[in-house]
Amino acid sequence: MIEVAKNYFAQNLDKNKCHKCGNEFIVGLESKQGEERTILHCPFCGSLMTESTACTTDEILREFDDCGLLGCSWIYLEKPDDDIKVLKE
């Protein structure tokens, strides 16, 4: 997660695949880490047969930010004080 503006952070993204229905989905890695379980339910079929297939790192996010590629398609967090919440677009 990198700070892109004061108290605004771009999350690392985690791409997941469901082995039951074959669909793929993306979640913010920091949001996922807040969950007690590490295996996610598939948002399409509800299966727990999901697997992380790719994710970004802070280094990759910095490269994208330097190139101007961090835009509205990324998942951002706002961190007022010590609380973190997901911003809705």
Residue 81 is classified by DSSP as T
* Helix/strand/coil percent split, the chain, to 5: 15, 35, 50
Q: How would you classify residue 68: left for phi > 0, otherwise alpha for psi between -120 and 50, otherwise beta?
A: left
Higher pLDDT, 2 or 69: 2
Q: How many CB atoms lie within 10 A of CB 50?
A: 21
Domain count, the chain: 1
pLDDT digits (tens, 9 = 90+) for 37-78: 567 889 999 999 999 999 888 888 788 777 766 665 566 556
Domain, as residue range, for 24: 2-86
- Residue 61: which H helix or E strand, with range? helix 58-66
pLDDT digits (tens, 9 = 90+) for 4-34: 677 777 788 889 999 999 999 988 877 666 5
Q: What CA–CA distance (Å, rounded) separates 81 from 48? A: 35
